[in-house]
A = this chain, B = another copy of it.
Amino acid sequence: MAHDERRLEVLRAIVQDYVSTNDPVGSKALSERHDLGVSPATIRNDMAVLEEQGYITQPHTSAGRVPTDKGYRLFVDRLSAVKPLSVAERRAIERFLDGAVDLHDVLSRSVRLLAQLTRQVAVVQYPTLSRSAVRHLEVVQLAAARLMLVLITDTGRVEQRVVDTPVDVDATAVAELRTLLNSAFVGVKLVDAGDKVPDLLETAPPHLRGLVATVSATLMETLVEPSEDRLVIGGTANLARGNALDFPGTVRPLLEALEEQVVVLRLMSQVDASTVLVRIGEENAHEALTGASFVSVGYGSADRALGGLGVVGPTRMDYPMNMAAVRAVARYVGHLLAES
């Protein structure tokens, strides 16, 4: 039916106008700005239907319409094409990210870049430990009975732990331990590392067995502990822009939720590298994120998402643009990490 067709066209127009003007959009303005081929009165009828179906709503009786979460959802799913980035934007990404010296540098540049491109709050997750593999394990002696373990993953992430050993150890024992640990764990994915421990204990020479047991216990703690996943957040200043317009009351609960990290990490856990995930308003099922949308995607090679990154902003955001930016940055970060 050409009928329904036009109604969707009206919804798309409403979303676009509302996103760009931040004013509830009325039938007259709509017919002027878009070539819908029908009069305002007809649009009004369509709007009444759209409202009944729950795609739009009016803030008060005699105001224009505003999309609901459901309306944005339909827009994202069916009405928007992914907007390719401009050449200038692509160039900006390269210029911004090239020259990063280490993992932290890559991620903090990414977060700044993303915040700048989208003018939203950007969030980048460190490569999840559990999905990485061990590149190297280093053992450093700090004192007679105190060692420092340094774990380097294939994504360049470095974790360190101090271990107090049950007995004093000497330099040769440290060297043996280092060799032992590396031969057991290098190349092993961290999720699978636990399975290697019994083996390791068996093959370890008797005089090292106690030491190995203590050290692997600490190691497992480090590796398995998923709470250690870290986030880099940037662009919070963008929240103070649209101000009262975008968020009910203040941005405070949102800032708090972002600092909590847990909330964002949970959202991040669902991403994969192939599709951009969009969660709109209430879909986030977290009070503080009411009125906020979350656009995210995984980075890393297609078969293996190392972590996620994305942006958080008002539901009234430019979805096509944000989705494109998030995807482009994720791809670039994936490349960078793959080659290092």
Interface residues of A (CB under 8 A from B): 101-104, 112, 135-136, 138, 140, 142, 148, 150, 152, 156, 158-162, 222, 230, 234-237, 239-241, 243, 250-253, 255-256, 259, 340
Contact = CB atoms under 8 A, between A and B. Distances in A.
Contacts of A102: 159-162
28 contacts: A102-B159, A102-B160, A103-B160, A104-B230, A135-B142, A135-B148, A136-B138, A136-B140, A138-B140, A140-B152, A150-B152, A150-B158, A152-B160, A156-B160, A158-B158, A234-B259, A236-B236, A236-B255, A236-B259, A237-B252, A237-B255, A237-B256, A237-B259, A239-B255, A240-B250, A240-B252, A241-B252, A243-B250
A236 to B, nearest CB: 5
Given A138-B138, A239-B255, A240-B252, 5 more contacts: A102-B162, A103-B160, A138-B150, A158-B160, A237-B255
Given A102-B160, A150-B150, A162-B340, A235 B250 contact: no
A253 B250 CA distance: 17
Copies of chain A in the complex: 2
Contacts of A259: 112, 234-237
Nearest to A104: B230
Contacts of A239: 255
A193 to B, nearest CB: 17
A289 B340 CA distance: 39
A161 B235 CA distance: 27
Contacts of A256: 237
Contacts of A142: 135
Contacts of A104: 230
Contact of A240 (B101, B150, B255): B255
A256 to B, nearest CB: 4
Interface centre among A102, A148, A159, A240 (most CB of B within 10 A): A240
A251 B160 CA distance: 37
Q: Considering the complex of A and B, which 10 residue pairs feature the smallest CB-CB distances, nearest first?
A: A237-B255, A240-B252, A136-B140, A237-B256, A138-B138, A240-B250, A158-B158, A102-B160, A237-B252, A240-B251
A112 B101 CA distance: 28
A20 B239 CA distance: 28
A257 to B, nearest CB: 9
A156 B142 CA distance: 11
Contacts of A162: 102, 340
Nearest to A157: B160
Nearest to A115: B259
Contacts of A253: 237
